[in-house]
Structure 1
């Protein structure tokens, strides 16, 4: 009888969770729309960026991996300094500026053939635009929800991001298969991915300018104090909570590196093992497809569990998934890896937002949310360098391959994060 009641209780929990958002302001749903558009642009770029650098600018795997990683590292650095600026500008102004920078940089990268323009736009303008948008959207979700529905809202927010990621994988495959080796208006399929990203940024700019309003008039909570990034940084350094959060962020880096390998390593691996026409984007899209449906369910089930406990358990599931590719290079193994990875991600990743807002001191949420993205971007540099090296050694474009060893090494690196969480949980939880 208990097993018959469980599905009913689950469905009732889902209905209660959705109904709790019924009276939410229009701005919450506009933020979800912006999140979808920005996710479509971001994930499509990430999926093809390493290939784009090799094909369009004739970079080796090592060079492409290095520059792929550099974007993420710079995003982390910029995020540290942009966080206090977000606290000052407010949500709407930050989104307007971030959308404008993203629009300009994505179109420029899509059309340029010069490395100088690529460096400036891809490594300066585009990351700063992302830093202004990512934490602001998360803060807006917090600002338009309450303690009762916030956990579910963050889960839904994460699902919206994955709708964009799902669309990005399908879009990349559609452009690749439609255009094949041809060029339209002198641009390859990968260049058109950036153009589509620019159009998404144009849409987020329109929403931010004409539809959003800042609840706090674009000011920080404390308008009496003179704004200073350095004063804010010095104040944060005196907080014990800040250092605990930094420690947890660093511990999470290797866990989140698997998603950088999903972007930097997996596409080239699939092309080299299974040919240029392999549906790499569609297989990639299995992950967001599962997350879209799993996260609301898992969020409803785990809403009464502490964020750290969900992160800890889910991290073990995600890290274990990598070893599937260490046993087989078949397409079926790749699909199974994505499925298990997604199951773990649905458990831990949405609760990372929840953990961040729960430990952030009042008035410093913008800085903490900017830093909450740090594990994903900090992981990009080591993952990019490792990706390029492993691809050249174990999965070269020509010659003998040992891709299983490559994934075994990646799996061992990823597994270090949940192990460290176990060893340090008394302090970081």
Structure 2
């Protein structure tokens, strides 16, 4: 094999300024959010004394809300082309809600705060993904989405690490963590305001091709991929249950944020290389591999008897995210033309997000009724079925 030339090396690692800014926004946003996410279930159960079933309802409702909103924000993105404005509204709303976690005194209040936070996520995600898709070619799209996912995972890794430090120094002071999470969130908003430059659109062309919500103007490959992914999501319940499983297996609560650090670091390291791999061999085999990895990891969580295995499984869980999260978005961008990608991203997110509601509620019911092994094993079976359907239908 001939050595790679300097221009090829530069092309390999070069990144559009738009992609770099969006990567940094994701880093600081997830740093902020993931200072909260790993400790919120512990705060609910140990401080507010909330039952596991109620946590499933909170997570299911809030995640489904975000996903439904992605459909409408995606449609609005294609209609008006205002990527930056929609992202600014979404990121701003999410970060304005974070201080209220520190003031909450009941699970109902936490539900409303999480609802507002996810409302913001629902507004911002589709225009962000459409902007990445429109700013890249098919040959480098996996790398771009992989880079954003890597920055997302890096922030998600640093968030629990900061939370661990605060909890260790201030004796499980959950409310202080909530207050401090505001700082990186504000940095993310500032990056959008001062550094993000969006692509200019031809208004005449856009008015002649206004998108419609739904599958009607989107191709069959997109439709079947979305439906199979929706089935997969029915088994992919909230990560809050991973926190509870770690605690259930005997992990000290203050160490759980470090387990999330390990999970997100493995995802961060792998996301860009796996994205580049999908540019070479195609998205489909990478996605199928990701579904099988998920099935194995969730079965492992159900069977784990020791804290040592929980640590290993959190690292392997990062592999699943690297093989699926950015790759799904890149695949949709490949099969849907420009001008419809916001609607397509939103439609996909709405369908998979609607499945998040029953996923978390069913998981909470199975856990309370039969134990964690049954809950995780059911998810593993659904993931295997989704992978087999991807193979059979050759989507």
TM-score band by shorter chain is: 0.7 to 0.9
1:226 is displaced (CA, Å) by 9.9
Taking structure 1 as reference, are residues 392 and 164 closer, same or farther at Cα in structure 2, changes over 3 Å only? Answer: same
Task: Look up the match of 1:200.
Answer: 184
The offset of 1:240, in angstroms, is 4.0
* Deviation (angstroms), 1:334: 0.8
Residue 160 of structure 2: aligned partner: 169
Question: Residues 62 and 220 (structure 1 numbering): CA distance in 2 closer, same or farther, change over 3 Å?
Answer: farther
Cα distance in 2, alignment partners of residues 280 and 247 from structure 1: 34
Aligned to 2:231: 251
Matches of 1:254 and 1:13, distance apart in 2: 46
Tell me the residue number matched to 2:59.
68
Between stretches 327-336 and 142-151, larger displacement belongs to: 142-151
Give how far 1:406 is off: 1.7
Give the 3-state SS of the residue equivalent to 1:355 in structure 2.
helix
Say whether residues 1:92 and 2:114 are aligned partners. no
Alignment partner of 2:380 out of 396, 403, 414? 414
- Assess, with a 3 A threshold, how the Cα gap between structure 1 residues 53 and 60 changes in structure 2: closer, same or farther: same
Q: Which residue of 1 aligns with 2:207?
A: 224
Residue 72 of structure 2: aligned partner: 81
Return 379-388 or 169-178, whichever deviates more. Answer: 379-388
What is the deviation of 1:42?
3.1
- Quote the offset at 1:203 in angstroms: 1.6
For residue 306 of structure 1, report the CA deviation from its aligned partner. 2.0
The size of the alignment, in residue pairs, is 393
Task: Give the alignment's Cα RMSD to 1 decimal.
Answer: 3.1
The answer for the alignment partner of 1:402 in structure 2 is none
- Cα distance in 1 for partners of 2:149, 2:351 equals 16
CA deviation after TM superposition for structure 1 residue 277, in Å? 4.1
On the 8 A contact 2:332/2:344 being kept in 1, the answer is yes
Contact 1:295–1:347 (CA under 8 A) maintained in structure 2: yes
CA contact (8 A) 2:30 2:153 kept: yes
Q: What TM-score results when the alignment is normalised by the length of structure 2? A: 0.86
Residues 226 and 353 from structure 1, CA distance in 2 versus in 1: closer, same or farther, beyond 3 angstroms? Answer: closer
For residues 357 and 422 of structure 1, do their structure 2 counterparts lie closer, same or farther at Cα, with a shift above 3 Å needed? same
Distance 1:14 1:245, change over 3 A: farther
Gap runs ≥5 in structure 1 = 182-187, 395-404
